[in-house]
Structure 1
Amino acid sequence: MNDLKARPFGPLVAFGLLASWLLPLTSSAAVACPFCSATAQTFSEEMASMDVVAIAKLVHLPPPSDNSSEELAKAKFEITEIVKGEKSARVGDKIDTIYFGDGKPGSVFLVMGIDPPKTMWSTPLLLSPRAQDYIGKITKLPKDGNERYMFFQNYLEDKDDMLARDAYDEFAKAPYTTIKDLKPHMNHEQLVSWIQNADIPASRRRLYLVMLGVCGTKDDLPMLEAAMKSTDRKSRSGLDALIACYLTLKGETGMELVEDLYLKNKKSDYADTYSAIMALRFHGTEGGVIKKERLLVGLKYMLDRPELADLVIPDLAGWEDWSAVDQLFELFKNADEKSTWVRVPVINYLRKCPLAKAKDLLKECEKIDPASVKRANTFFPGDPAPAVPDPKKAAMIPALDAKTNGETATASYEVPVPPADDQEINAQEVAKAVQSAETAAVVNKGAPPAAAIRAIPLASPNRWLLISVPWGIGLVMFVVQWWVLRGLG
């Protein structure tokens, strides 16, 4: 159990590391506000999923009952305003629905329903006069743009906590570019006040730090530096966003302080160190202020802390920094019970590395610890972190023209253009794609359309990948649960 004591939440981090290698295989880059986590569906999202949305007043509560075997009695409401679904409900309609509150007759509620005409109504939500006004306005807002987020900005930290949460969730789900566009309309002094308020929840403080990074100035740096150096946990609440904000305003010269406090400093605890790594990842993907080369210098200080080195190895591979090959092999070779989880990430790094030396080191790794090599191949079959296609390169691949003549057709294939924020595509893969398209065109030439479709050469699915990945994840989760329970015992 020494490794658990040396590194809190070790098993959970091991599982998180597995996810960090698997997610690039199935998802695109996150576009939501960095460091922000939405707490629930927003009112806008919830109403969009409903067939009927209405404002209703409570007519009377259900009669009290002590018989638990009876069907739950329902309260009666009268619709006073239709927000959505005018064809499915009318003002003045009476509806019966389950309500567990103690509202007084005449109180105003938000009610939503699905599947009209026999509409199934949700549990009514009590609305204050301010909330009624809020609901009425959000239905008229554009789906994106400054007008929308200027409206929600006015409800951040609102006295009605329900509205404050909803406004926060709208920002938490907004793309970072949208938040940057809002810069001319941000209230700098208000943001600083919220950041300095120790009673603000960490999740919201992260949002305000992200916004300060957009509208702040160098005059804010002393406040941010003092918070980063503070020994008071509340002052450092939302540390990942705090460091990211500091680096956004300070620029590359701010890296030295971050490195000294969290990356080089072996006394920095796990949570703080990980927050710094998250901040550097943000700047490597969306920040646009500090060059990746400088960020990599900071990340590589973690290789001098073997028990935490696995946190950054996937980043080195993803950003294609192959200068650490020898250092990573030494980490693999010298791993002990406190740093044993570094071995699988090292193997995955070497598998992706294009240098010839990496292949030789992989063979050495297998001699040292064949079990770790087997685990890496089992949990990460194929390329552990494949490069994502570059849209510019993909767009240069010419599509073969489709030509039809009577009942015959020449199949046409165009290599799909990936999203604009994707990274590089392997030149070999491009060549394969073009060759595959040309082959298909030759095979299908002169064939009827249906026959042409059947003759298209299809790639066989990787059955090993389809079967092993779910089983592998399940196995890891089982081991993690066992490990945690054993630690608690």
Structure 2
Amino acid sequence: LVLSLPAAAVACPFCNAQTKTLSEEIDSSDVVIIAKLVKGPPIEAVIAGSADAEATFEIVQILKGGDALEKNSALIGLAPDSPKRPRQSRQIRVLYFGQQPVGTEFLVFGVDPKKVQWTTPNALSPRAVKYVSQLVGLPKSGADRLTFFQEYLEDDESLLATDAYDEFARAPYAEVKQLKPRMHREQLLKWIKNRDVPASRRRLYLTMLGVCGQADDLAVLEQMIQSSDRQVRTALDAMVACYLILKGPDGMPLIEDLFLKNKDAEYTDTYAAIMAVRFLGQETTAVPKERLLAGLRAMLDRPQLADLVIPDLARWQDWSAMKKLVELFKNADEESSWVKVPVVNYLRACPKPEAKAYLAELAKLDPESVKRANSFFPFGAAAPAVPADKATAKQPQVPAPDKSGGAASDAKPAKANGSSGSKSDKGPKPGQSSSNDRAVVVPALIGAVVAMAEQTAAPEESAERPAVQQDPTTTTLDNAEVANPEAASDGESRQTAQAAPPGMVPATSRRVREPEANRWQVAFVTLGAAGALFGLMFTILRRN
């Protein structure tokens, strides 16, 4: 139940997908078509936002679910078994509140295989139609898939640029590295230098440059890292990682002097550098692990921020810092008292006999802190890290602190270093990855939770689900004069500005048997809530 620091990165380590990709939308739908608008909805119905705002669309291309359309009367005015049914004149009526001209092509998703409902149509340009049409034929993963999306990064059409970025943001880092021979290095450099490129995308391009970059690129990176312009240093975490991958161990002194050893460095910059060091230690061999650890140990001379790296030291089994950490515990004041619990967990994880002796000594000095560590983290410290060259995709993954890759280095929280301010004035550290990254469990709760679950479990019963109003943002084949039972999806997750008013649950009057309550499900849900509560309590204790 204890969460360790991140193991091998599942996706782009510094990227944050903005939305569901078009491919994911297609996979989760049962029918996907490209249809042309042949008759717009009545203007009065559009203005009123009523369910009568139906437009007529002609199916141009079936991307998925063709069998479902063929098996059912999915054509207006034609019987399902009509042998002369013209394939290119198939039409459907769909709820649509937009103002696009007749002839515009749309992407439309169909949901519910037994009673197809069409989600809000999304207008496509001719280039977007070509793009979407190719998605269904792409490999499910690998460099060949990424090669396709690479050509649409920073595309003039927002839909294509966003979808391409999201595909890279979800791709495993190992697959991004496989793309190296096909990456456009010069183009990546232009985007990285462009102030108009959003920080999230710049992180991706810096990650890619770390794969395909050359020594000639180091001067540009060093200039950006040392710039006093925060806009230039946007995406600092990915920037530092890219720099260290290309520079190797020789790049560590610059990063240490600017962000790790420098007590005047802003908290967000320091945290960004720590994120980069973590990534290198887990995903690459560009800098030896011992050299990375030396950089992290420099943070121990900044007691107020030392707790950021103590879990990393334990996870990478660096026991050389034991004496230093014990001194931090003993000398902790109001500004650094939160370092105590991580130190205790470090000692608990250490297999050396002197660690037990130190624990006993600290328990006499501050029994409350040791008790808190044992209570909040009863199963000990983080599991040992898996070396980058031995990590596999099968290992459990835990998202890295501040997975957005940017909040930590782009936000501007109150300064938190040894020079000024008190901890209570600064608030929680963004994306902090010390003790707050762990699940909180109190063993004494388990018996009470299980007992409560047993009392909560209800006998099996059946219930009649009352019919409710039809969702006006979806159109059933019945309503559209089209009967096509065979398609399902997760709803209208990609609605545009033309979306209909908020809808309601689709009607159903089917008799459903409610499952028997599962006491363990109840127990785990309650444990999760208790964990969140104690996590909040622990945060308050740290700040006080």
TM-score between the two structures when normalised by the length of structure 2 = 0.68
| Residue equivalent to 1:272 | 269
Report which stretch shifted further, 211-220 or 465-474.
465-474
Out of 40, 48, 54, the position equivalent to 1:74 is: 54
Is the 8 Å Cα contact of residues 51 and 95 (structure 2) preserved in structure 1? no
Query: Does residue 1:23 correspond to 2:3, yes or no?
Result: yes
Query: Does residue 1:476 correspond to 2:535, yes or no?
Result: yes
| Residue equivalent to 2:470 | none
Report which stretch shifted further, 60-69 or 143-152.
60-69
Residue identity matched to 2:305? L
| Residue equivalent to 1:45 | 24
Distance (Å, rounded) in 2 between the aligned partners of 1:88 and 1:349: 59
Following TM superposition, by how much is the alpha carbon of 1:146 offset from its aligned partner in structure 2, in angstroms?
Answer: 2.5
Change (3 A) 1:48 1:256: same
**RMSD, matched Cα:** 3.2
Listed as ranges, the matches of 1:427-438 within 5 Å are none
| Residue equivalent to 1:102 | 99
Distance (Å, rounded) in 2 between the aligned partners of 1:313 and 1:349: 7
Q: Which runs of 5+ in 2 are unaligned?
A: 71-86, 398-519
- Whichever structure has more helix as a proportion of its residues is 1
Residue identity matched to 2:67? K
Helix, strand or coil at the partner of 1:77: strand
| Residue equivalent to 1:238 | 235
Out of 267, 283, 287, the position equivalent to 2:284 is: 287
Change (3 A) 1:481 1:119: farther
Residue identity matched to 1:101? G
1:88-132 per-position Cα deviation (integer Å, ceiling 9, x unaligned): 125544333333332222211100012124112221111111100
Residue identity matched to 2:131? Y
Is the 8 Å Cα contact of residues 316 and 384 (structure 2) preserved in structure 1? no
1:169-217 per-position Cα deviation (integer Å, ceiling 9, x unaligned): 1111111111111111111111111111010001111111111111111
Residue identity matched to 1:476? G
Query: Does residue 1:363 correspond to 2:360, yes or no?
Result: yes
Q: Which runs of 5+ in 1 are unaligned?
A: 1-20, 394-416, 424-460
Listed as ranges, the matches of 1:113-128 within 5 Å are 113-128=110-125
Residue identity matched to 2:34? I
Distance (Å, rounded) in 1 between the aligned partners of 2:283 and 2:120: 40
Is the 8 Å Cα contact of residues 50 and 112 (structure 1) preserved in structure 2? yes
Is the 8 Å Cα contact of residues 351 and 383 (structure 1) preserved in structure 2? yes
| Residue equivalent to 1:251 | 248
Change (3 A) 1:60 1:68: closer
1:65-93 per-position Cα deviation (integer Å, ceiling 9, x unaligned): 49979656433333221000001125544
Q: How many residues align?
A: 402
Distance (Å, rounded) in 2 between the aligned partners of 1:176 and 1:343: 35
Distance (Å, rounded) in 2 between the aligned partners of 1:259 and 1:173: 31
Distance (Å, rounded) in 2 between the aligned partners of 1:313 and 1:464: 32
Change (3 A) 1:50 1:66: closer
Distance (Å, rounded) in 1 between the aligned partners of 2:20 and 2:212: 28
Larger relative contact order (Cα-Cα within 8 Å, sequence gap ≥ 6):
2
Query: Does residue 1:35 correspond to 2:14, yes or no?
Result: yes
Following TM superposition, by how much is the alpha carbon of 1:372 offset from its aligned partner in structure 2, in angstroms?
Answer: 2.3
Residue identity matched to 1:36? C
Is the 8 Å Cα contact of residues 247 and 254 (structure 1) preserved in structure 2? yes
Query: Does residue 1:301 correspond to 2:298, yes or no?
Result: yes
Out of 323, 328, 332, the position equivalent to 1:331 is: 328
Is the 8 Å Cα contact of residues 350 and 359 (structure 1) preserved in structure 2? yes
Is the 8 Å Cα contact of residues 379 and 472 (structure 1) preserved in structure 2? no
Following TM superposition, by how much is the alpha carbon of 1:422 offset from its aligned partner in structure 2, in angstroms?
Answer: 8.2
